[in-house]
Structure 1
């Protein structure tokens, strides 16, 4: 039976694309006869270690304070790994825990794989740290140098890393639960619950509220809509982060019921927001994949997104949504205006987006990834046959 140890600085109960994907992947492995051991930071709620998850003391991450960096405890980790005896080590973040995982793999001659989830280089410019970019890439190449595989979520990410000099790249795409995210919803009931005008044209944003997500572009796009369109529209923002309620409607010179900041929303309520909206507006340029784009399409909601990064790998311009030049407020406003005016186009994009999402099944994606795991593990352990169920 294959045994896999995962080192990650983001894991449940964190709510972000990487944490949710890794949690789902571990669940899949366990149900397919693979034993797993996860090393992750303790959460704010100080969750205790469980049978398959070892929690470690942690501190907030400078660029993303909702995430935490673990402080490796050598004795704690070594005892668990010695008892577990992994066939494969997977490092999902390139920080303290990832470094410990790579070091342990090298010392004990255990095959090593990595997954790349975040464009940290793109974050630097938003936090006035662009000068660190050359050193960051030098470190990233060094960190991944001994990996049998480096899993990336999209073709655009693969091309970026390949151009930077990284090798052994494979695409590990993302799937979507199309039973959870689906178009059927009582629109009026949803918006009544949130106090939003149900008869308005609803422009929705879901995601972290931080500079690197293009929140300024989001707000400026709404401001630049023609007066009559904006008067008939509302901007609904679901998420949390340092820019939560950075600008109220009054700050923007708008009527009170023009912009709604809902805070963090999850589960069924989040799925309802997607399905009840008319357009999903997502100007972020820093995505390696963009899970929220796929969630919106599965919900039958046309997407207006930035023509960069993982977003452009999911959107088919003119069919499942509209792509705009990064940061081009006029182009974003024009795209939203077009979808406001053209109801048949919205409907056709809704149907096409839903059809696309139905093809993105987790089982198919995970089956390919498990095959890759097996190849990586047995490459160095041919003398110890490993089976899977």
Structure 2
């Protein structure tokens, strides 16, 4: 099988789509499966591969971490024909995704897609709700030619079904439990980040409205003095709200910027709680990474995250935007070491069952079902 992937973001970009696709292409390399990624160029020269075809691009003004490429279609068509893929997978609904759909039709190549981002939910955080109808109309048009549309959670599948999408399949995300684990030297990590207080509370993600940073800051500023004196916040990430957050932040909040790999894994491991109020996640990669690290998560009861967290077992699910619920959940777990450690252990055990290779094996079976016109049992 030869696979062509069209995406508007790819490693070393720091977002869930790019990281998931990098896991997938690493798996394909291990399996000696031929693939080619067509993606915008990157400011970084960290990762260069003959399997990646980059195109000149510009930052998207609403979401600078995503780039819009404008490839020469004649050249792109020639390169795709030379590669001669059996299947095309489009991962994003922007320019490169549109190129993938056009060429799949033009060259009669079977087409599948994956749905990673809840753009409709984003609109309310940018006061653009009036565009919701137009957005859904476009998204349905974009995905209509696809033989299968892979979604990361049951919650997303339900949402798209209600909007009239067809050919939906669950493609959950996994976690690297060899990288993300609870066994790093936490004292050295705490010293590295200047943590002197007893408990570490961590947030990881883009510092942007759709992550409900407003609720995060409300919680950080609402903790009772006796709890606050024992807590150090580590905010991992960057984005348009960073300067505003720093201006509003309490004295016990530290901003690390973006972290990846072992540096990120160490932060999770050294954390006592992971606090994540974002209601817009189709899955929640950072949540399962926290669980793999033995760190209980307190999250919004919304989106794909609610399919990861087992309330009262691996963490707490709180009403979206309800700072009081988040604050109460933090106090409950900070005040009960035994319960917190039990949650952490249960979270680690759950993460160990979410193996990337098994998940990608099933994705290849789904590809094969498209090529052969047969149906395979859905991934549960």
TM-score (norm 2): 0.95
Question: Structure 1 residues 33, 268: closer, same or farther in 2, change over 3 A?
Answer: closer
How far 1:30 moved relative to its partner?
Answer: 3.0
2:268 counterpart of 1:274: yes
Q: What are the Cα deviations for residues 98-121 of structure 1, in whole angstroms up to 9, with x where unaligned?
A: 111111111221110000010111
Q: What are the Cα deviations for residues 227-279 of structure 1, in whole angstroms up to 9, with x where unaligned?
A: 2111221211011111124233x745x4x3x1111111122111111011110
User: Which ranges of structure 1 fall in alignment gaps of 5 or more residues?
Assistant: 381-389
- Look up the SS of the partner of 1:184 in the other structure: coil
Tell me the equivalent position of 1:224: 222
Tell me the equivalent position of 2:116: 117
Q: Across the two proteins, how many residue pairs are aligned to each other? A: 374
Tell me the equivalent position of 1:327: 321
Question: Structure 1 residues 367, 110: closer, same or farther in 2, change over 3 A?
Answer: same
Select the residue among 290, 298, 314 that pairs with 1:296. Answer: 290
Alpha carbon RMSD of aligned pairs, Å? 1.6
2:370 counterpart of 1:376: yes
Q: Is the 8 A contact 1:285 1:308 kept in 2?
A: yes
Whole-angstrom CA distance in 2 between matches of 1:177 and 1:372? 22
Tell me the equivalent position of 2:36: 37
Whole-angstrom CA distance in 2 between matches of 1:47 and 1:3? 25
Tell me the equivalent position of 1:237: 235
Residues 177-256 of structure 1 mapped to structure 2, 5 A cutoff? 177-197=176-196, 199-248=197-246, 251-252=248-249, 254=250, 256=251
Whole-angstrom CA distance in 2 between matches of 1:48 and 1:74? 25
How far 1:46 moved relative to its partner?
Answer: 6.5
How far 1:185 moved relative to its partner?
Answer: 2.4
Question: Structure 1 residues 346, 63: closer, same or farther in 2, change over 3 A?
Answer: same
How far 1:78 moved relative to its partner?
Answer: 1.1
2:353 counterpart of 1:355: no
Whole-angstrom CA distance in 2 between matches of 1:47 and 1:265? 15
TM-score (norm 1): 0.93
2:86 counterpart of 1:92: no
Tell me the equivalent position of 2:105: 106
Residues 53-202 of structure 1 mapped to structure 2, 5 A cutoff? 53-197=52-196, 199-202=197-200
- Look up the SS of the partner of 2:150 in the other structure: strand
Whole-angstrom CA distance in 1 between matches of 2:248 and 2:359? 45
Whole-angstrom CA distance in 2 between matches of 1:121 and 1:15? 21
Whole-angstrom CA distance in 2 between matches of 1:20 and 1:355? 23
User: Which ranges of structure 2 fall in alignment gaps of 5 or more residues?
Assistant: 375-380
How far 1:49 moved relative to its partner?
Answer: 7.1
Q: What are the Cα deviations for residues 145-203 of structure 1, in whole angstroms up to 9, with x where unaligned?
A: 11110000011000000111001000111111111111112222111111121x42211
Whole-angstrom CA distance in 2 between matches of 1:106 and 1:149? 15
Q: Is the 8 A contact 2:12 2:46 kept in 1?
A: no
Tell me the equivalent position of 1:384: none
How far 1:128 moved relative to its partner?
Answer: 2.0
Whole-angstrom CA distance in 2 between matches of 1:49 and 1:360? 29
Q: What are the Cα deviations for residues 367-386 of structure 1, in whole angstroms up to 9, with x where unaligned?
A: 11001011112339xxxxxx
Tell me the equivalent position of 1:17: 16
Question: Structure 1 residues 311, 33: closer, same or farther in 2, change over 3 A?
Answer: same
Whole-angstrom CA distance in 1 between matches of 2:10 and 2:55? 12
How far 1:63 moved relative to its partner?
Answer: 2.5
Question: Structure 1 residues 49, 56: closer, same or farther in 2, change over 3 A?
Answer: farther
Please identify, of 49-58 and 236-245, the stretch whose mean Cα deviation from structure 2 is larger. Answer: 49-58
Question: Structure 1 residues 48, 302: closer, same or farther in 2, change over 3 A?
Answer: closer
Please identify, of 119-128 and 323-332, the stretch whose mean Cα deviation from structure 2 is larger. Answer: 119-128
